[in-house]
Structure formats: C-alpha cells, structure tokens
Amino acid sequence: MYHGVSDRAWEGVLNCERNHIRLDALSKQLRWLKENRRVLSLSRYAASLRGGEPVPERSVVLTFDDGYENNYSLAYPLLKELALPATFFVATNFIERRETLWVDRLEVAFHQTRRSSLELSGVEGRWSWNKVPERVAAYLSVKSALKKIDGKSRDAAMAEALERLDAEGLEAPPLFSPMTPAQLRELADGDLVEIGAHSCRHDVLTYLDDSLAEREIIESRAKVALLCGKQPDLFSYPNGEGGPRLAAMVERAGYAAAVEGSLRLNPPDGVSPYRIERLALHEDDTPALVAATVGGLRQYLMRRG
C-alpha cells in the first residue's frame, strides 16, 4: 500500500508521516519485489478469491491511494520501466474539483501557521506547540480527531481550524496536487495500471451513517467511470477502514473487490474479496526489512512485542 511519491525531502510538518515515499526508496523496493516476488494485478488476485485460478505462491499486489499527480509523473514511469502492474485508487472530488484533500490542507496549515495553539468548537482537546516535533504531534492529533466525525461536522471543524491558524487561502505545494482527468484517462487507457474508486470526499466511511457511506461508494464508482470511460471494479476504503457493513455496501454497488489497510498479510484461504488486507513498507526499509515485511516475519515479531 502506497500513497504519494516525492523526488525530494521535506521539512517541518510537510510529509511528516512520509506518506509520499521518496522515489529512490520506491525504486529499490519495487526492484526487490520484481526480483523476489510475483507481482500481480489486483484484478487477477480478486478473481482468484472469487473462485478463479489460484495465484502463485509469494505473490504481491501494488496499490497507490488518493490520486496524486506524482503517481502519474513519478510512480508510473517506474512501473512502466519495470513492467509491474498496479492499481491507482482515486478520490473523485480530488480529481474533478481540484480540491486538495482535507488532510493535506490541514498539514499545510500546521506547517505554515504562525500560531502556537489551537482549540476547536465541538472537538475535545487543546493543542499547543513551540518546536517542530510538538507541532507535528499537534497536527497528527487534530487529524486523528477530525477523522472520527462525520463529513459535515468535519467540514465545519476544518473551516474553523484554518481560520484560527490564519491559514485560509493557503496554496498547497505541488506535493499534494491531484492528477488531471487527462492523466487519469491516459492511465486507464493503458494496460499496466488499473483505476479504482476511493470515495468522493475521502471521508472515513466507518463514521458515516449508512445512507451517506453508500452514496460515497456508489457515486465514486459512477464518477470514475465518467473520468476514465470504463466502470471501475475495485474500491479502496478511505483510511483503510472497511469492515462487514461497508463490505456489503461495496458488493451491492457492483464492485468485484475492495482493499483495507489493516497492515496484515492475506492468508492463503478464507479472504473475502471485499476485505483484502494491505501492508505498508517504510521509506527507510532495507532489503532485509522488505523481505521480513512481505514474508510476515515483521508483523509476527511486532505481535510478540
């Protein structure tokens, strides 16, 4: 599971979680996977879960969430060079409306603000900071709190946060730019990258009521179809949070498969095509750590404490 890709290092709050992996690190990881694993498309794996031909042992699938322009300009050329299939999941409002994702707007606000504290109406907590680590911790705490409220309440909280941080109207750096519809169509017209839906607004669906969650799932499928000229069969739950309730909605909407972000391997048997697990590799992982992660050893040791 990847998100964005960057060709430079960032300081302060920007990319503090390294969700945008450095291109050189991504290159090393993908080259290791090509040499040591069988890289399949997500559709191929999903078909096997639905009763099709079993996948080879030691298989992996590559996914990129959100729809950042750097997926097109940096990740895609590398995937082409290595002939590795991948799935790009896009939040449709991000592409259609050129709206910076709310988590990225919050990140930029915390990075650039001259304020040193924040309180929000209806959101528990008061955050203050002086040094960069404290500022990063405050950003992560506020982001976590806002993920756990419904979309309308979050929009109001975001507007208040930007106002109190004197961050209204700030422009996000290119790191957070979305792909253009033309770039997305180019990818969809090729045979290497599959395009999947990732909701419209990038709300965490587990915190929405049934009607709102189902609308996000259904409408994002229709919008991706309009953008790409073909119906998407794959869905990625925002924030990686799925579960039985949402899995049933995704199946009713006509998708063939959906991915979560539970950071676990998928066992050989008993995997629901609507609850496919994913794991993340870290930017600084050595080849040994990549091997330990995709082989399950890293997770086993973490569970053992």
At residue 109, the pLDDT reads: 96
The residues that bridge with 128 in the sheet, in sequence order, are 117
Structural contact between residues 266 and 282, judged by C-beta atoms closer than 8 angstroms: no
The residues that bridge with 130 in the sheet, in sequence order, are none
Nearest by Cα to 25 from 73, 90, 78: 78
- Res 41 pLDDT > 90: yes
Mean pLDDT of 194-206: 95
Transcribe the chain into DSSP letters. -B-EEESS---TTTTTT--EEEHHHHHHHHHHHHHHSEEE-HHHHHHHHTTSSPPPTTEEE-EEEE-BHHIIIIIHHHHHHHT--EEEEE-HHHHHS-PPPHHHHHHHHHHH----EEEETTEEEEEE-SSHHHHHHHHHHHHHHHHTS-HHHHHHHHHHHHHHTT-TTPPPPGGGPBPPHHHHHHHHHSSSEEEEE--SS---GGGS-HHHHHHHHHHHHHHHHHHHSS---EEE-GGG---HHHHHHHHHTT-SEEE-----PPPSS---TTSB------TT--HHHHHHHHTTHHHHHHHT-
Q: Tell me the pLDDT tens digit for each residue of 74-110.
A: 999 999 999 999 999 999 999 999 989 999 999 999 9
Structural contact between residues 34 and 287, judged by C-beta atoms closer than 8 angstroms: no
Nearest by Cα to 253 from 210, 284, 283, 219: 219
Dist. CA 256–CA 17, nearest whole Å: 31
Mean pLDDT of 4-12: 94
Q: What is the side-by-side strand order in the sheet with 257-259? A: 63-66, 86-90, 193-197, 234-236, 257-259
Percentage, residues of the chain above pLDDT 90: 83
Structural contact between residues 64 and 172, judged by C-beta atoms closer than 8 angstroms: no
> pTM value?
0.94
- Res 170 pLDDT > 90: no
**Whose structure tokens read 């990686």?**
240
Dist. CA 278–CA 241, nearest whole Å: 11
Q: Tell me the pLDDT tens digit for each residue of 103-147.
A: 999 999 999 999 999 999 988 889 999 999 999 999 999 999 999
The residues that bridge with 197 in the sheet, in sequence order, are 90, 235
Residue 304 binned pLDDT confidence (cut-offs 50, 70, 90): confident
